[in-house]
Structure 1
Amino acid sequence: MTGNPSQPVQVLVLAGARAAGDPLCEAEGVASKAVIDIVGQPMLSRVLRALGASRANAPPWVLGLEGDALATAADGIACQPLASQGRGPASSLIRALEGPVSTPLLVTTCDHALLTPEMVDSFLAKSMASDADLCVGFAERAVIEADYPETRRTYLRLGGAELSGCNLFYLASPEALKVIRFWQSAEQDRKKPWRIAWRFGPLTALRIVLSRRGPDAVFALLSRQLGARVSPVTLEFAEAAIDVDKPGDLVLVREILAAREA
């Protein structure tokens, strides 16, 4: 489904807390990652500013924060609260799409503190040029490590490439829900790609893991299994793959932004 560049895009920012607690929040003495100070600004507000300066500039929905907590994290930037109603990001996203949120939809996370308007616009342009129901943003390992060899990311081996997720998703049509529902069932295995592949059966899992035909071929295979068109979108921004998930990430992100804004 090729997107219309002039069509308005809704935006959803995931900002829910982990059910088991977040060591990063405990270390920073805050209830939510969204309010962690990043060089003088709450982390969520940095994400909202980047979105507002991109073509996805409609007031975003923020899933998982409400009231004073959202007001503090947003730092005066317009956004719409949406209560979490699921046990994880996938189930909460499904509930949101069953309610006030609709496609086409850009999804990102509150800990994407290095997000820039250029990243958003590049991701949307490539996503809308595809015929996919769902696009997922990635950066290649070589791109990331060329600029930040010290960062430790989770890499997926897909079709011979090593890719790290960029916390950017574009849901072009309601068909994307088929993929989100699958992800809901596999969410606990997100750091274990082999287990996710195994859910399609041993033969398909082997084809996914052993393929050397490139990420597009792997996603074409996944699309046939899921009944919806899923496509990878590779970005040339190393920072797009660096979110704030661990204390080491927070140190690195603060250093990057302090240098960027000096």
Structure 2
Amino acid sequence: MTAPIPAIVMAGSRPGPDPLLDGSGVATKALLPIAGEAMLVHVVRALRASPRVGAITVLAQNSRAIAADPALAAFEDVRFADSGQGISASLAAALPDDDAPVLVTTADNVLLTPAMIGEFLDGAEDSDVAVAMVERTVLLARYPESRRTWLKFRGGWWSGANLFRLRGRRARPLLDFWGRIERDRKKGLRIIAAFGPALLIGVLLRLLTIHQGVARAGRRFGVKARIVPMSAAEACIDADKPEDIVLIERIMAGRGF
């Protein structure tokens, strides 16, 4: 049996005001209540419930404030560490110096389940960089009201599911590159264009599937990159907008928690 994989939860705040926090009484998104508990609690609980996950580290600009939350303090084996301002730089600094794999997720990935984690890790084997994504028809079949950012490729439109598997130092060049284009994370074509004109043309003309495109982008940095399609529509529903929280709480109520 494969040894449990360590996990990193990115729980920092992006620059600028966050409309989700208006009138909430909390200072950081990770502590925003969803279904009666801080969103980060839901994520850590799902990670802790998975037998595939080992040590958990939460990264945030003010990790002490997050660790002081009583529900989070109850997770005695979770480590809290301060991050920098940039997601990519903070994550790169937290990766192991060898090629050991790390599971990465975010504090707003509140619908995460152990089943999702298992499906993703099974699909991510033997890759240097793996990214979980949901195809549009999978989401719309269950939640047609959910609005996501889509990357359009031959054979489907895809949205990120906030799960990543990175093999330590091998992923650092790609993270350094991501740090330079991070501000355009919601603008799919700008991200694709940053990998070069050949990839952009292939996507615009629908010549490439997302699997081919990501593999080609990875080769530019000497890594084996892979997309892992997720079967659960909920995998790409994160707490990004007020309407997301309404939907998430409805889904949680249907789950019985």
Q: TM-score, normalised by structure 1?
A: 0.90
The reply to whether residue 198 of structure 1 matches residue 193 of structure 2 is yes
CA distance in 2, matches of 1:178, 1:20: 27
Partner of 1:122: 119
Aligned-pair distance for 1:200? 3.0
Match of 2:34 in 1: 38
Shift of 1:214: 2.0
Q: Name the residue aligned to 2:251.
A: 256
SS in 2 for 1:150: coil
Cross-structure match for 2:46: 50
1:150 aligned residue: 145
Query: 2:202, 2:208 within 8 Å by CA — same for their partners in 1?
Result: no
CA contact (8 A) 2:99 2:167 kept: no
Residue 234 of structure 1 aligns with which residue?
Answer: 229
Between 220-229 and 138-147, the greater mean CA deviation after superposition: 220-229
What is the identity, as a one-letter code, of the residue corresponding to 2:254? A
Aligned residues: CA RMSD? 2.0
Report the Cα offset of residue 121 of structure 1: 0.8
SS in 2 for 1:60: strand
- Aligned-pair identity in percent equals 39
User: Alpha-carbon deviations, 1:209-235, whole Å to 9, x = none?
Assistant: 323442221122212222211100000
Q: Deviations over 1:86-114 (max 9, x none)?
A: x3211111122278x97310000011111
TM-score by length of 2: 0.91
- Decide whether aligned partners of structure 1 residues 158 and 179 sit closer, same or farther in structure 2, where only a CA change above 3 A counts: farther
**Which amino acid in 2 is paired with 1:194?**
L
Q: Deviations for 1:158-207, whole angstroms, at most 9, x for unmatched residues?
A: 33310110000001342111211111111011111221222233233212
Alignment of 1:197-216 (within 5 A): 197-216=192-211
Q: 1:175 aligns with which of 147, 170, 178?
A: 170
The correspondence for 1:9, drawn from 5, 11, 22, is: 5
Distance 2:135 2:236 in 1: 9
Q: Deviations over 1:38-64 (max 9, x none)?
A: 222221111111111113432310000
Distance, in Å, in 2 between the alignment partners of 1:7 and 1:58 is: 8
Q: Which residue of 2 is the match for residue 95 of structure 1?
A: 93
Contact residue 7 and residue 103 of structure 2 kept, 8 A: yes
The separation in 2 between residues aligned to 1:218 and 1:162, in whole angstroms, is 13
Q: 1:214 to 1:91 in 2, by over 3 A?
A: same
Matched, 1:67 2:64: yes
Assess if the C-alpha contact under 8 Å between 1:13 and 1:110 holds in 2.
yes
Q: Distance in 2 between matches of 1:159 and 1:10?
A: 34
- Give the conservation status (yes or no) of the 8 Å contact 1:216–1:232: yes
**Post-superposition CA distance 1:129-178 (Å, at most 9, x none):** xx320000001110101111111011111333101100000013421112
Structure 1 ranges of 4+ moved more than 4 A: none
Q: Show structure 1 runs of 5+ residues with no match.
A: none
- Corresponding residue of 1:80: 79
Q: Which runs of 5+ in 2 are unaligned?
A: none
Structure richer in strand, relative to its length: 2
Amino acid at match of 1:37: P
State how many pairs are aligned. 254
What is the CA distance between 1:75 and its match in structure 2?
5.2
The amino acid that maps onto 2:156 is A
1:161 aligns with 2:156: yes
User: How far apart in 1 are the matches of 2:222 and 2:81?
Assistant: 29
CA contact 1:11–1:56 (8 Å) conserved in 2: no
Which has the larger displacement, 203-212 or 164-173?
A: 203-212
> Are 1:106 and 1:170, in contact at CA under 8 Å, matched by a contact in 2?
yes
State the distance in 1 between where 2:104 and 2:10 align: 7
Q: Is the 8 A contact 2:129 2:225 kept in 1?
A: yes
